Amino acid sequence: MDLRPTSGRELRYTLTIVLADVRRTLTVPELLEALNRLGLTAAGRPAKTISDALRWEVRKGRVVQLARGRYRTGRIPRSTLWWIRQQIAAAADAQ
């Protein structure tokens, strides 16, 4: 399978949705595996890129960092989840 590198907003939104959908704590390798199942990979050094992307979402409160490399969903309004899903779908359609 050919994986498409992603970064920035698309990566942040995708990781946020992955965490919201599984509803449990995930490690960075588990998040990378979930990205791979979606046909994506984190650009550059994957573990660093993922943790850097999630840092923004932690500041927003959408993701909670429980320990080094362990994340879970924070508080995300339903309307925000809907909007993020629309953005991910639009990015996928553009590819």
pLDDT one-digit tens code per residue, 30-70: 999 999 999 999 999 999 999 999 999 999 999 999 999 99
pLDDT one-digit tens code per residue, 1-29: 688 999 999 999 999 999 999 999 999 99
How high is the pLDDT of residue 91? 85
Q: How far apart are CA 2 and CA 15, in angstroms?
A: 19
Matching residue, tokens 């939104």: 13
How high is the pLDDT of residue 92? 82
Q: How far apart are CA 23 and CA 73, in angstroms?
A: 7
- Three-state DSSP state, 67: strand
Q: Residue 93: is its pLDDT beyond 80?
A: yes
Contacts for 1 with CB less than 8 Å, ≥ 6 apart: 36, 39
* Widest pairwise Cα distance in the chain: 35
How high is the pLDDT of residue 1? 63
pTM: 0.92
